[in-house]
Amino acid sequence: ATLGDTPDLLYMKSQAEYNVGDYYGTISDTGKILKSYPQHLEAYQLRGEAYFRLNEMDMAQKHFREGLKLDPEHGGCKEGHRLLKKVTKNDKRGDAAFEKGEYKSAIDFWWGAMNVDIDHLAFVRPTLLKVVRAHMALKEYTKAEEECMKHVNNQESVEGLHLLGEVQSSAEKYKEALRSYQRALDIAPDDQKQHCKRKVEEAQVALKQSTEKNYYKILSVPRNAKLKEIKKSYRELALQWHPDKNTDDTEKAEQMFQDISEAYEVLSDKELREKYDRGEPVFENQGGGQQHQRHHMNPNMFFHQNFQGGGGQQRHHYRWG
């Protein structure tokens, strides 16, 4: 008999493939078994486990359930289904918590899912990046960088290096961020080179701006901040530094108030923000000094217009996705 005619030999081959990490080979060969022997319980279990290792949870669940239909007490299918449910339940709870802004709970749920089998890299690697984003949302940049480094040190990827660069930029570690983006460009496949090159250019601009007047730093927001976050920070800082509330040091307050208004004027305007992010001058008379902005607007008038939600300014019509 040929190998294809003998389910036991084909099953042994599938097991060997599974043990060396050839999960696609396992899926292919157990598929052949199930086509000829649709009641082969061990093939359902092994195929489910192979899909599970590939992080294809819906297909894994389908195979465990098919096996349990044939024998509700089948130990292997029961155990596989139990582990899968534990992972997916925690993962979904983490996603739901993140969507509600409950970032600490999201982190706990995702770690609960990962700790079911920390060697299950097809699941752990993408989930670790979700944990990184939650730490970023909490402004816990040191922890975010630490977790992202686990991902990168395990295996470099463009996605992991880009997120590492984002974390480092948010932590104002602009040189390290540039190195991360450059490394991503070095390892990127051809179809991602253009995107990676743009990221390197943006990091170069951020590094240059970090030595100059940095509008993101002035408003205490990350470079990827949404308009809502920028607006909230502007309002809080403008109230804090309004010269009328800082009569003991009006000169410093006026300068801070001016900078805050200028930063908001640029970052809340889609066109000006894009120019700033590219490292281009945002005001026509911008040159060697930093005095140009004093002639550009009246910060008190700007403050009142924005606090009354009006002024008919174009910037309020932009939406950020």
Give mean pLDDT in consecutive 10-residue pieces for the chain, a chain of 321 residues. Answer: 65 96 97 94 97 96 96 96 97 98 98 95 96 96 96 96 96 95 97 96 90 88 91 91 84 89 93 89 58 47 52 35 32
∠ CA 320-221-166, nearest 5°, is 80
* Terminal alpha carbon distance of the chain: 61
pLDDT of residue 300: 58
> Cβ(57)–Cβ(88) under 8 Å?
yes
pLDDT at res. 54: 97
Inter-residue contact 30 to 14 (CB < 8 Å): yes
Tokens matching residue 6:
């003998």
Give percent helix, percent strand, percent coil of the chain, each to the nearest 5.
75, 0, 25
